[in-house]
Amino acid sequence: MSDPVPDISVVLPAHNEAGNIARMAATLEGVLKPLGRYEIVFVDDGSSDGTLAAIRAAATANPQVRYISFTRNFGHQEALRAGLRHARGRAVIVMDADFEHPPELIPELVAAWRDGTKVVATRREDGEADLPALKSVTSRLYYRLLDSIGDVRIEPGSSDYMLLDRSVVDTVNGFADQDVFLRGAVRWFGFPTTTITFSRGARTYGESKYTLRRMIDLAVTGIAAHSVRPLRLAIWLSLAFAAVGLLLVIYSVVSYFLVRQTVIGWTSIMATIALLGAAQLLVLGIIGEYVGRTLRETRGRPTYIIGETEADQKPDRDVIGFRRPAE
Ligand code: UDP
Ligand code: MG
């Protein structure tokens, strides 16, 4: 490739963000130009609303805009991963394409990086005040749970808006895990990190794609990627039930000798069966979750498929249907 390595790449996953693309590209151009050589990498994650067309148009209008388009929806974390592989900058900023991550913060991120920090993370300063109550409470509880059972500490209010130095990006790109929870992985590496706070912008077009189900998926991935402690739940439960069982034994022996009434135990037997059944199913479910993930890891399938990139727009095909080999 003849063009020099950009100083800064900005990676933006986009799933049905058609109305945000042109404005985002223009805003970023204004913010990035004074900061050095830059590139903008959109990752179209299987959109169905003309996002890809908007991205193509942005790439035609500005050669600094590059993109990847997935064949279908593979999810936000996969889009981030693909974008990090596609980006060439000496620093890579990842952010949402919906203006909830304010582009005006970029100069601050870049300044912290130029001061020598490898990871510049961000945190919503208003915490989750503006989020729906349920999302804010669960998010705070979740980070606390991850902190206590997992191998990473993520501050509440953290998001996937951050700047990563090239060395960190290369580390992420070398990560072979099928499941990636980027904000966890980056903290797990342990590079020096600064955190900058910001107040969340407002989504101007479209709606959040993080439905409850997707949030639960991401939360389970985060825990499974950073902890095996849930597997030990069975051991703790067995201790608890052993203690209850011991009490029941004492109770039935005593009642046999004192009351000579041995059939009144029906309620306690039913209760024990129900409790034990629930506990066993819970533990089986947890084991199943990890076994399923182990299966996915051993299959080693690609975690996303690219249908098109900016290179496909260039008329440099020697033979129809065959692209010139990459440089
Ligand atoms: N996104 C994506 N693939 C998905 C879902 C979301 O690439 O399957 C993108 C989305 O376009 C946005 C970012 O990920 O740029 C964050 O998603 P969203 O705004 O829906 O999440 P929220 O801000 O509500 O947590
Ligand atoms: Mg959003």
The more confident residue out of 327 and 38 is 38
pLDDT (average), residues 174-194: 90
Lowest mean pLDDT among 6-10, 50-54, 124-128: 124-128
Give the ligand 1 atom nearest the CA of 98: 15
The predicted pLDDT at position 261 comes to 59
Give the ligand 1 atom nearest the CA of 16: 11
Nearest CA to ligand 1 atom 12: 96
For 37-94, the pLDDT digits (tens) are: 999 999 999 999 999 999 999 999 999 999 999 999 999 999 999 999 999 999 999 9
Does residue 134 carry a pLDDT above 70? yes
Comparing CA positions, the residue from 8, 206, 24, 19 lying closest to residue 89 is 8
pTM for the full predicted model: 0.83
Percent of the chain predicted with pLDDT > 90: 48
Residues with CB under 6 A from ligand 1: 13-15, 17, 45, 73, 75-76, 79, 96-98, 100, 208-210
Ligand 1 mutation target, pool 209, 213, 218, 221, most atoms within 8 A of CB? 209
Ligand 1 centroid distance, CA of 225 (Å) = 20
Nearest CA to ligand 1 atom 16: 96
The predicted pLDDT at position 130 comes to 63
> What is the spatial distance between Cα 69 and Cα 305, in angstroms, rounded to a whole number?
9
Ligand 1 centroid distance, CA of 14 (Å) = 7
pLDDT (average), residues 235-260: 80
Lowest mean pLDDT among 218-222, 296-300, 307-311, 312-316: 312-316
For the CA of 100, the nearest ligand: 2
pLDDT (average), residues 291-303: 89
> What is the spatial distance between Cα 158 and Cα 166, in angstroms, rounded to a whole number?
21
The more confident residue out of 97 and 273 is 97
> What is the spatial distance between Cα 299 and Cα 59, in angstroms, rounded to a whole number?
35
Ligand 1 mutation target, pool 23, 44, 96, most atoms within 8 A of CB? 96
Tell me how far CA of residue 123 lies from CA of 158, 194, 200, in angstroms.
Answer: 5, 10, 9
pLDDT interval class at 203 (50, 70, 90): confident
Ligand 1 centroid distance, CA of 45 (Å) = 9
The predicted pLDDT at position 305 comes to 97
Taken in order 215, 219, 220, 224, is the CA torsion positive or negative? positive
Does residue 271 carry a pLDDT above 80? no
> What is the spatial distance between Cα 64 and Cα 29, in angstroms, rounded to a whole number?
9
In sequence order, what are the beta bridge partners of 193? Answer: 119
The predicted pLDDT at position 327 comes to 47
pLDDT interval class at 267 (50, 70, 90): confident
For the CA of 55, the nearest ligand: 1
Q: Give yes or no for a contact between 13 and 45, defined as CB atoms under 8 angstroms apart.
A: yes
Ligand 2 centroid distance, CA of 40 (Å) = 18
Nearest CA to ligand 1 atom 3: 76
Ligand 2 centroid distance, CA of 296 (Å) = 28
Lowest mean pLDDT among 21-25, 134-138, 284-288: 134-138
> What is the spatial distance between Cα 171 and Cα 7, in angstroms, rounded to a whole number?
18
Ligand 2 centroid distance, CA of 98 (Å) = 6
For 113-123, the pLDDT digits (tens) are: 999 999 999 99
